[in-house]
Chains A and B, each alone.
Chain A
Amino acid sequence: MLPLKEKDKPIVQKLLSAGCCARCVLRFCCVSVQAAYRKPPQDTLNELQAFISSTENPKTQDSASPPEDPPSKRAKLEAGPSEEDAAAAVKLKDEESRVCVVCLGILQDLCGPAQALKVSETVKAEKYEFDTLVLSVSLPAQLCVREHSCWLHVKKELREKSIAVDRDDLIQVKEAFKWIMQGLVAKELGGVAVVTRVGDRNEEEKELFNATTCSDCFKPTKNKQSVFTRMAVVKALEKIADAKFLKHYPSPPAQPTSSCIPQDVQCLHMSVFVAGRYNKFCRSLPQTPWVIDGERRMESSVEELIAAPVLSSFRSDGFNFSSSGREDVDVRTLGNGRPFAMELLNPHRSRLSRAEMKQLQETINKSSDKIRVRDLQIVTREAMSRMKEGEEEKTKSYTALIWTLKPIQREDITFIDDIKDLTLDQKTPLRVLHRRALAVRQRVIHSMNTRFLDSHHFYLGLKTQAGTYIKEFVHGDFGRTKPNLCELLRTDTDILELDVESVDVDWPPSIPE
């Protein structure tokens, strides 16, 4: 039995006469029992017709429109097959094939086992690995207009009967669609997000808005092809007065000539996150692709060298790379390496065993001698944030090859070894000032050590607060970093080479070999 009450009768009658499909009738009667929507639509239609004709009040017949023919209906339900019955069946078939004036067929032919199979096949073809499934549907904006028109139609009736119904209690097309389809698709599959999009059909609703004064709701935006986005239409419908709407648009909505056309099925797997540490052994390799004026400067980059094998293992569409700080193109990263993490977008494979991850790490390491990766592992999105946490407080160790203008002797530089916790005032370096705000930042060099090479060169080891600009500390950046090494040594100094020796972030956890 349908969960309908006596007071719903005139509404059901009115909706069926207007050309609503059985499921849309349920929606407008606020039926929230999911099972009711999953029944075959013709069964529901039969029940609805039985419901309205079973009334003790014969008055309803007056308002019935031609398609409904309660007496023959009742005959069908009560008697066995007959000629009359066959005629009724034909008539029923006719009604079924009629496209619903509200949902434009979305809850009719586009919502059933055939469509579910189509969706499932698309997912299967992409060979995803997954556990759970989320189904969503994207509907054309014009559906909102038809829904609104139908609501005004029903509202009039409700008001006459003094029945209070909150529009929010109506079941949305989207909701009903998911109730029916989710189970059907899941039966065929197991757990990937499926997005079903249903496309536009005609232009009549756009004309409505061109004719009204809602133009402020339809401002062209940069990246949208049409101004009639779903959001804009919803907003306009909230603003428009009922009388004005009815002047430009029929209520109930007119009989459509064709149903919506399913556009495509898009599959999307949730991101998988992978983390590790990398070494960079090359002084001509940027961390990320280096593009100036639309032209590529270096043929490769750290993230590309790492990402290529990872993407192919996870059969992923793309990635977002992040790391705990970054080094310049001409700086090497030695020691245990720099923590990094990457978000893999739409991975078709998501479960790699420890051994497979180790294999993947080896593949990366064999592919290039410019970089090396360790501790490669799958992590959670939450764990990834630990890499950025307290980044400022972390320390980093460097080795720099220093050149001095004036000749030096061994003992000239030893005093540097005794300097502890030297606070620098660093203006944003000129080399990054074009993309960062101008500020003076205080950074601490915790300790330094020196190794004399010859009369113009020595190695300087530094342990610093993260975020210290080492090159600028050495050459002074036009006196914009103070104090700087030139001041300390009372001669011009320059940095010829720089290596990152360690990035002291204890994430991701190390993986023993």
Chain B
Amino acid sequence: MDCVEQKDTEANAPSVVDRYYTRWYRADLKGKTCEDHCILQHSNRICVITLAHTHPILQDGRIIKSINYQISNGCSRLNNKVSGKSKRGGQFLTDFAPLCRITCTDETEYTIYSCIRGRLLEVNENILETPNLLLEKPSTEGYIAVILPKFEESKSITENLLSREEFESIVAKRTVDQSQPT
């Protein structure tokens, strides 16, 4: 293996997300049209849950009124605390555990789900202060939560998810369907 250093000074270097993460998707979550979620899986199995760029919140110049991690009277994702290397104490989430509810100024409300099984490591408190992060940088600084799948499930959790290609073909089909008169 030689060690010649290639200086890539072109501006087309892949982004941080593309370099280290694999994009997975769930489309039309809970049967609700276009409520697509994106799961960024790092090579170390950690997953970052974000809105897919097709999510209704990110369309038509919507403005976010509030983001609520209190998903029921008894449970707030903001109370999640993990300790130690083994991340003791984190809430364990199943595929369709709600992470938060987002309300827009037009009074539409959306629930964001965990999408995968795993331990909740953290939620993004920055979007509470600056909801615009969600609109401006949905796949980085506007992330919703970080989840650590079980070690033995790190491969199987993506079986139920859509690959980037599969998701894009669904989105393309959607556009065709919409453009056809009903």
Question: Residues on A close to B: CB < 8 A?
Answer: 281-285, 292, 299-300, 369-370, 401, 403, 427, 430-438, 453-454, 456-457, 475-476, 478-479, 492, 494, 496-497
Contacts and interface: CB of A to CB of B under 8 A. Distances in A.
A290 to B, nearest CB: 12
A433 B146 contact: yes
A333 B110 CA distance: 49
Given A369-B3, A494-B16, 11 more contacts: A430-B42, A431-B20, A434-B42, A436-B85, A453-B9, A478-B140, A478-B143, A479-B133, A479-B137, A492-B15, A497-B5
Q: Which of A283, A434, A478 has the most CB of B within 10 A?
A: A478
Interface in B85-128: 85, 87, 121-122, 124, 126
B178 interface: no
Nearest to A407: B11
Nearest to B90: A438
Contacts of B83: 437
Contacts of A476: 140-141
Nearest to B151: A434
Interface residues of B, number: 33
Contact of B87 (A300, A438, A494): A438
Contacts of A283: 3, 5
Interface stretch (B30-38, B44-52, B56-64): B44-52
15 contacts: A283-B3, A284-B1, A299-B1, A370-B3, A431-B42, A433-B46, A434-B44, A437-B84, A438-B87, A456-B11, A479-B133, A494-B13, A496-B8, A496-B13, A497-B7
A370 B5 CA distance: 12
Given A299-B1, A433-B121, A475 B45 contact: no
Given A434-B148, A437-B84, A437-B85, A478 B121 contact: no
Contact of B122 (A281, A432, A437, A438): A438
Contacts of A457: 9
Given A431-B20, A438-B122, A403 B1 contact: no
A496 B83 CA distance: 33
A300 B121 CA distance: 34
A432 B46 CA distance: 9
Given A433-B121, A436-B85, A403 B146 contact: no
B11 to A, nearest CB: 5
A475 B121 contact: no
A438 B13 contact: no
B82 interface: yes
Contacts of B13: 403, 494, 496
